[in-house]
Chains A and B, each alone.
Chain A
């Protein structure tokens, strides 16, 4: 049976900044916990302790990332559990969130419908901040001022993980130095030298990043209900072990070489 947002007791997790590998592991652990019905459905807002390139589950490490450039900039490269494209992250420059929901919330939906459904609250929040944004299938949120965000989903056990990275104010030159595909895509369009910042959220809202996040949380709370929650000690311990094991391993990072 299909459930609705309001059939669930949504919990918010918004903690101090954490390492890129720990973020990967938290997504793995929390999706599993919601799927096993040990945790209520959850919205997690990410804060980043260090810069990172996060590549999709099926992307080729060497095709996507200039390893020497990443090392030169002190950027950690991690592989996430979901498909989709590479993200370039510097603390404070993006807004990233995860939704961990029972599969019942998207039961009977096509992939395309499920992506748009799980981000409808974000389009509402952006609209209230003066940005007319819409879903661009398959997995992008875009606006008149350009692409705002990319989403990715994966199903694990009884749960869906839906996570999104939104561009707040990105250093385009550094991003193009580190991401190979981005460099090729942009050079095709002749815009590589034109864009110094990719800042659709900053430029279109005029608000600090924290204020945008605050409004997004308030919108989710108003539309779907949201209680302030926290990571359980056993969840954090499991995620830390996985961050130091699986997600720090060369075998996982280069699983698609």
Chain B
């Protein structure tokens, strides 16, 4: 399943994922945004893996904020934008 979201004032945020037994699996974030340090990408994927598929965007954004240490810097992307892209992947997945 594939979802894309152009964050207003930011960059393109893309999510590819599967759903297994009602939970997110094989979550892959990508896009033309900026993240420091770059290892944060894998931490974000790991934080989303296993979340309930019906968790909702606010819950997912909170889970991301909790998983990321304060020294992670985001430019053109945010926990909220990533959660929106997850939502789009889930709801448009059948078309992708």
Contact = CB atoms under 8 A, between A and B. Distances in A.
B34 A153 contact: yes
A139 B12 CA distance: 13
Contact of B30 (A81, A111, A139, A256): A256
Interface string A131-164: 0000001110000000000001111000000000
B32 A56 contact: yes
Interface residues of B, number: 20
B25 to A, nearest CB: 15
B28 interface: yes
Contacts of B80: none
A60 B28 contact: yes
A interface: dominant SS: loop
A58 interface: yes
A154 B32 contact: no
A85 interface: yes
B31 A58 contact: yes
Contacts of B12: 181
Q: How large, as a class, is the contact surface on chain A?
A: 20 to 34
A139 B34 CA distance: 10
Given A60-B14, A60-B16, A138-B11, A85 B41 contact: no
A182 to B, nearest CB: 11
Contacts of B33: 58, 83
Which of B29, B33, B41 neighbours the largest number of chain A CB atoms within 10 Å of its CB? B33
- Residue among A58, A152, A181, A257 with most chain B CB within 10 A: A58
25 contacts: A58-B31, A58-B33, A58-B35, A59-B32, A60-B28, A60-B30, A63-B30, A82-B34, A83-B32, A83-B33, A83-B34, A83-B35, A83-B38, A83-B75, A83-B76, A85-B32, A86-B32, A137-B9, A138-B11, A138-B34, A138-B75, A154-B34, A181-B12, A256-B41, A257-B28
Interface of A: 56-60, 63, 81-86, 111, 137-139, 152-155, 181, 256-257
